[in-house]
Structure 1
């Protein structure tokens, strides 16, 4: 039992220790990660968990404004307004230009019914973001909640003027008018309520709430006629609506128009035959009608008089008047037409018919009667104005139906009757604007402005059209005129600034930068602190490579917005363009310190350091450049450009070990990046670690199989090959001898770290036997600029000289000049000659030229020989074309050494050319030809022709 308990306790302790170890060594999350998690939890409505994560993030970074705002929102969502208010206010204290914080603050105060505080936050937000649609909509809501409907009306109109086509604005404004209408209706201010409901219907003609409200209002105020007109209008749009049909029946019943009510009920029953309510109304209406008419209806009495005396004018007037008062316009029109049959020019009846038609919204027909009446009394100003009003109403109807070809003539006729009618002018202009005929609209507005030169509506409309036409200067002139007339009205200043800003934007898109800058400067003359104009001027001058001007406007902007991070970032960018890297990097460093988790500031700082480093690099300040690039890598150890620049600089300084560390670091972070692998291969090549370099080059080929990469890989792989096999063949022919002579050579060469050594066997067949010659050769590099060449040969003397010895010391000087000092010894046919050798070689990019002189002592004679060789190298110096010319016979001339004692004193000239080609740095083939002309005597010359073929293969 005790043993079991012991095991259980041990296991529990082990689990507890493992859990504690996991907690201790668990990698802590930073504030940004916590913020991201809090956002995810908020979206999933896990508010308590999101609050805990947010508080943890703020504990790590107290000045994290985004996190504070999220926490404020979470407290709003969980019904904790006090805490929400605390965090949102802290955000606004730290960053007064945090737009979303104002929206949250307004919502908090609205929820707490603190309307004054909410309005203050809205005004404060609009101070920093003037004209912001969302803030304006929030303020409208605050004013509505606080029942400040007069101010709200003005704000709603401002929103509609600025965002006329925005569905959200129109919907919000409609809601405002409905709310205001209900407010005034509840306080029995029916006139104001009616105006508000009419505005709502103007914005949303299909709004059911507005229709019902205004209909009820008509009934409350006893305006049954207007109520019936409204229902009839609604029925025109929706003729089968049961509710509308029953509403009209109720109104007819209220006005005791039982005849029409019963007829209308029959239509309802026809459409809804099984409706119990409608069927019950049939009996009820007939009972009410019988009771009403039993008490004597004046209408019926006057109608009975007319039946007996059709010409009784008083009875006719009464019947017409009663029909109109009951809203029975069709009946009234029928009685008027009956009267006009007997007296067609009766002005009284014509006037009544005009009224009826107008009430029935038949404005065109009413205007035609008004025209008839006006002709009969042309001096009447009332008839003239009535005619004009009816023509305008008729035109509006056509305009509403987008029948512009019918609307415009109506407005023009109204103007003919009253040339100063501003409404007609306005309607004509609107017609042309709706048709996008801006030129004609301008003509109409100009005509209107000759009559009303200071009319604000016409001026604003003209300015708007000119802006749309791209005539911004003219539009701005109009706004300046309005601003001068009404300096206290801020909307004109704002409109003028907006016109100029739009003009500047359009000019920038058209790449008219000078003109665009003029527009933005004009905005600053009016509003020196306008942030958009300042921003555009900074961007514009920076883009057009005018950094001094860009810096001027950046400094000017910082006078108004000293802590604006975007402007500071732009100023740093301008300073970078001006190569004032220290100042630019100081700003970027401050921004990075203030916002350590914002990537763009870190990027800007590192980019600035890179620019400074490359500037040091161009000025050969290598150590300063490397220090700067190390700063970049301290901030971002994965910065590819800093790694590459550092590799190149260290390579140039021959600090290969350090360069290799950076190359390996680059490969670690970017394993598929060809450049870092190439750099590694080059560094290893410079260190003469050819095996490792070739492996790196093979990796490059696997990632990017291009001819250049394959070529470099082959080159490096060839450097790892230490042995070479060669075959050579020399063919000589003569014009003075029919015999040809050939020399075949086999060679083995081994490459060592400081050069190479080789052994050769030369074979030549002659009539007297087979000539064999053995050779050993050495190239040895003492230093990078000093190397030796040595050669020793021995033969059986049948063809070749018995012995040759050679040694030269080569040294490289400045400007790619190479000098040689050497000695040669030759033993042939019992002749012993010793020669001194001097040569000078020079390289010009792909060209190499060598001039060599031999000073030959063959006792008792002394000779000289000269040789000039020129080569043109191709394909990374693998291949070359060669040209050579010689004077005299040199001890290095293999084809004539056996005859050297005979030829040494002769005047010999030679020219030759050849081509050598290397395949993949392993196999080399060559073909060379030489023509030698020897002067035997003053009149005798002989010629020799050599063909030399080579083949070498590394392995």
Structure 2
């Protein structure tokens, strides 16, 4: 029957004989049964009749439930049919029956990889095997591929330290450019930009990716520099007045080995009545991978807040949330004191960053206290790096936002204030970056509701950054 191609009849006779055979005869007959099944299943697979092949192997396993060839066929067929649950079930049976067979260890790990919750276990299983068989090429290749998938998930979850350990383990057994690139991504997440720049250079972009890739390398190069000089210029004009007020700023930032930065800043304001100068010192420090702080103090002789103090703590929790809480104090030349409590939250969604901040303000003026607020929202879209972006923002409240109060263009307290703005940033080269932001403020003057009850203020902010 088998030679005539009448496989079902041949198998049926074998199954009838096996049913009445003793154990010794059964083992001999099972070998013949397999001799019929192997070419049968192979032909079905070559003809892409996967469902029929699966039915044949299932029949095979009913007769000989631990047959090594049958289990291997079934695992591979389930993989091709994308039946991940069945693949895992048969791989577990095979690994349990043939515990010393590396091939089944590999198949079990591959089956586990299709289950997100078992990806770490799959990697650990392969790691234990590759330590015992470091020169087993299929095993090492599977370990490398699984590491790529596992590390990618860790990076997506902001588990940068763990991802780095996983990648380094795999690179010990086989050099791999894709893993080196992912190592660069892990270093970027850990803010180790020197190493991130080095390892991400191993990536081989397509022609479509080339410009974005170069731009991102420029960003990493900028972040790896320890010195930044920034020059900025702010031009402001009221809608009902052609006079232009300006503020020019020069600052220098030094990045230290522990990740902290020191910034010295000088602001110069030119107004019709004269000029004002403000000096400012700022210190930022990361305390852990999730917690950092910022402190700044400023003093001015005119046109700015006379004294300004700010302190903030920033906490990041995985994978993409960030919260900020800050306290501040300002003493104005109008003999008013302003205390502020800022509460902010940010969320990253793919290439977007969304931010909301509530400024709670307490104004003390001539012994009279008043609660004020300003609510701001901002959305940024990043193009291949955080240095290349477009943004839109707006605020509303009964006080100007805190940035405008620092510049002291106007103080419209306890009246309607609103702002909308947009901007963009661009990394020109590894050493140079620029940005521009335009804003429009609309605020109530406090006069009677006539044509002059509301005014407009237009700002244009330009900045040039040099990294070295």
**Structure-1-length-normalised TM-score:** 0.39
Alpha-carbon distance in 1 for matches of 2:208, 2:246: 45
Is the contact made by 2:205 and 2:213 (CA closer than 8 Å) also made in structure 1?
Answer: no
Number of the residue aligned with 2:82: none
Is 1:574 paired with 2:61? no
Is the contact made by 1:659 and 1:683 (CA closer than 8 Å) also made in structure 2?
Answer: no
Q: 1:858 aligns with which of 356, 360, 364?
A: 364
Is 1:757 paired with 2:262? yes
Partner of 2:422: helix, strand, or coil?
strand
Alpha-carbon distance in 1 for matches of 2:363, 2:438: 29
Partner of 2:402: helix, strand, or coil?
coil
Change (3 A) 1:789 1:886: farther
Partner of 2:55: helix, strand, or coil?
helix
Q: 1:717 aligns with which of 221, 230, 254?
A: 221
Q: 1:706: Cα distance to partner?
A: 5.7
Q: 1:949: Cα distance to partner?
A: 1.4
Is the contact made by 2:278 and 2:298 (CA closer than 8 Å) also made in structure 1?
Answer: yes
Is the contact made by 1:886 and 1:911 (CA closer than 8 Å) also made in structure 2?
Answer: no
Change (3 A) 1:698 1:828: same
Change (3 A) 1:523 1:892: same
Q: Deviations over 1:353-381 (max 9, x none)?
A: xxxxxxxxxxxxxxxxxxxxxxxxxxxxx
Q: Please, which moves more after superposition, 822-831 or 757-766?
A: 822-831
Unaligned runs of 5+ in 1: 1-493, 502-518, 593-601
Partner of 2:439: helix, strand, or coil?
strand
Is the contact made by 1:772 and 1:796 (CA closer than 8 Å) also made in structure 2?
Answer: yes
| 1:511-660 correspondence runs (5 A) | 520-525=7-12, 533-539=36-42, 540=44, 544-545=50-51, 549-555=55-61, 568-575=68-75, 577=78, 578=86, 579=88, 580-585=90-95, 604-605=103-104, 607-614=106-113, 618-620=116-118, 622-623=120-121, 625-637=123-135, 638=137, 639-646=140-147, 649=150, 652=154, 654-655=161-162, 658-659=165-166
Change (3 A) 1:613 1:712: farther
Q: 1:733: Cα distance to partner?
A: 0.9
Is 1:884 paired with 2:394? yes
Change (3 A) 1:874 1:614: same
Partner of 1:717: helix, strand, or coil?
helix
Q: Deviations over 1:401-453 (max 9, x none)?
A: xxxxxxxxxxxxxxxxxxxxxxxxxxxxxxxxxxxxxxxxxxxxxxxxxxxxx
Number of the residue aligned with 1:431: none
Number of the residue aligned with 2:272: 767
Number of the residue aligned with 1:946: 459
Is the contact made by 1:572 and 1:587 (CA closer than 8 Å) also made in structure 2?
Answer: no
Is the contact made by 1:754 and 1:782 (CA closer than 8 Å) also made in structure 2?
Answer: no
Change (3 A) 1:686 1:551: same
Change (3 A) 1:822 1:524: closer
Q: Deviations over 1:684-716 (max 9, x none)?
A: 445554333422333445999962654554444
Partner of 1:893: helix, strand, or coil?
helix
| 1:64-213 correspondence runs (5 A) | none
Is 1:665 paired with 2:172? yes
Q: 1:871: Cα distance to partner?
A: 0.9
Q: 1:930 aligns with which of 439, 447, 455?
A: 439
Q: How many residues end up aligned between the 2 structures?
A: 418
Alpha-carbon distance in 2 for matches of 1:885, 1:545: 61
Alpha-carbon distance in 1 for matches of 2:190, 2:359: 37
Is the contact made by 1:660 and 1:683 (CA closer than 8 Å) also made in structure 2?
Answer: no
Q: 1:914 aligns with which of 389, 405, 423?
A: 423
Q: Deviations over 1:652-697 (max 9, x none)?
A: 463467435424424xx44xx4213224434444555433342233
Number of the residue aligned with 1:841: 345
Change (3 A) 1:826 1:848: same
Change (3 A) 1:585 1:715: farther
Number of the residue aligned with 2:180: 677
Alpha-carbon distance in 2 for matches of 1:583, 1:734: 78
Change (3 A) 1:718 1:736: closer
Alpha-carbon distance in 2 for matches of 1:858, 1:762: 26
Q: 1:741 aligns with which of 245, 264, 268?
A: 245
Alpha-carbon distance in 1 for matches of 2:287, 2:165: 26
Change (3 A) 1:943 1:712: closer
Change (3 A) 1:520 1:740: same
Number of the residue aligned with 2:198: 695
Change (3 A) 1:531 1:612: closer
Change (3 A) 1:704 1:665: farther
Alpha-carbon distance in 1 for matches of 2:407, 2:216: 41
Alpha-carbon distance in 2 for matches of 1:794, 1:917: 31
Q: 1:730: Cα distance to partner?
A: 0.8
Change (3 A) 1:887 1:702: closer
Is 1:792 paired with 2:297? yes
Q: 1:728: Cα distance to partner?
A: 1.2
Is the contact made by 2:219 and 2:427 (CA closer than 8 Å) also made in structure 1?
Answer: no
Partner of 1:783: helix, strand, or coil?
coil
Alpha-carbon distance in 1 for matches of 2:318, 2:220: 28
Alpha-carbon distance in 2 for matches of 1:896, 1:650: 45
Alpha-carbon distance in 2 for matches of 1:716, 1:554: 58
Report which of the two has the higher share of strand: 2
Number of the residue aligned with 1:244: none
| 1:6-45 correspondence runs (5 A) | none
Partner of 1:675: helix, strand, or coil?
helix
Q: 1:914: Cα distance to partner?
A: 2.1
Partner of 1:584: helix, strand, or coil?
helix
Is the contact made by 2:167 and 2:179 (CA closer than 8 Å) also made in structure 1?
Answer: no
Alpha-carbon distance in 2 for matches of 1:830, 1:793: 17
Change (3 A) 1:869 1:917: farther
